[in-house]
Amino acid sequence: MTDVTGAPADVLHTLFHSDQGGHEQVVLCQDRASGLKAVIAIHSTALGPALGGTRFYPYANEAEALADALNLARGMSYKNAMAGLDHGGGKAVIIGDPERIKTEELLLAYGRFVASLGGRYVTACDVGTYVADMDVVARECRWTTGRSPENGGAGDSSVLTAFGVYQGMRASAQHLWGDPSLRGRRVGIAGVGKVGHHLVEHLMAEGAEVFVTDVREEAVRRVTDQHPSVTAVADTDALIRVEGLDIYAPCALGGALNDYSVPVLTARVVCGAANNQLAHPGVEKDLADRGILYAPDYVVNAGGVIQVADELHGFDFDRCKAKAAKIYDTTLAIFARAKDDGIPPAAAADRIAEQRMAEARAARGW
């Protein structure tokens, strides 16, 4: 485990002056033999061992990687708290292009670093890592989820992630229109990879009118080949301007809600699977000023983390689906709290999550 001795000044500045502060532990990992450079960030263990995925990404520099790890770890604390899990928040990032440097040797080295934490951090898949990778990591570390069924895991978590987003959409419809049904509603999905594709299935089954876009033409083609009535649009810019759109679902990269997109967005509801949808804190006020209801991303996309957490107790799909179905009630409770407190839904979700973590810390005497 590498300490911070000799770390670049920009890394140290990020670590000690980040606005995503309050982290319990940050581990800088390096294995010269395999080329591994990674950061493991533990934000909170108040509710239990930190749980969060491993992102494998070609960051521009170490400071950028550290900032991402800190931000993502904090987000996982809130997500796990709102999902009702007995887990705190953590996240890891591996620095580099997975297409170029990902090897079995590197993943095994990473697994040893996670194992050295003795269960304080439980890892899983994220951007750039997959079920097969977790199977390799698990050979060195028993605190690994997101593994294949053949290796004692639950496999792909995108099914329940999409199901949770669907429940968030139903709750949004109930709150805004007094009916959870999505039949006849116009829904635009930006990003139809694994999660987005499953979300299309739920919406089509209910009779929604679906519009999709994706930077990968083959992803769009898979959807339209299966569902010819789905409308493909050129890009996200066109999608957010679709006339009469009821719900916009960002299901790709973060920052989808920004100073450019919000003023032209036609939808009345935003509810999607992407993480960190708000480009900056002021965006949600802009949404509210335009009368657009925002379902907090880390609440509605929690189906995946519910699934991987269940692996630690012997995975049962029906049990997980029942937990993910509660995202409907949780989302409604957030909207009610937001109305009562006169604050945006994301702020209401944060307050509820912070209250749960504070109560856990108090119970532990922290």
List the structure tokens of 118.
């003795």
Cα atoms in the 13 Å half-sphere on the side-chain side of 340 = 10
Distance CA 54, CA 59 (A): 14
Residue with tokens 């409770």: 333
Phi-psi map region of 37: left, alpha, beta (phi>0 left; psi -120 to 50 alpha): beta
Distance CA 254, CA 277 (A): 5
Residues 107/130, Cβ–Cβ less than 8 Å? no
β-strand partners of 186: 209
Is 89 flagged in the annotation as binding? no
Is 26 flagged in the annotation as binding? no
CA distances to 31, 37, 191 from 106, in Å: 8, 9, 30
Q: Strand 54-57 and strand 36-44: pairing?
A: unpaired
Is 191 flagged in the annotation as binding? yes
Q: Quickly list DSSP for 23-89.
A: -SEEEEEEETTTTEEEEEEEEE-SSSSEE--EEEE--SSHHHHHHHHHHHHHHHHHHHHHTT-S-EE
Distance CA 213, CA 247 (A): 14
Helix (H, G, I), strand (E, B) or coil at 327: helix
Is 88 flagged in the annotation as binding? no
Cα-trace Rg, the chain: 20
Residue with tokens 């029942």: 322
Verify whether residue 91 is a known catalytic residue: yes
- Catalytic residue, candidates 37, 79, 91, 102: 91
Is 244 flagged in the annotation as binding? no
Element (H, E) at 10: helix 9-17
Q: Strand 121-122 and strand 50-51: pairing?
A: parallel
Is 193 flagged in the annotation as binding? yes
Closest CA to 168 of 328, 322, 275: 328
Binding residues: 191-196
Binding residues for NAD(+): 191-196
The residues annotated with a catalytic role in the active site are 91
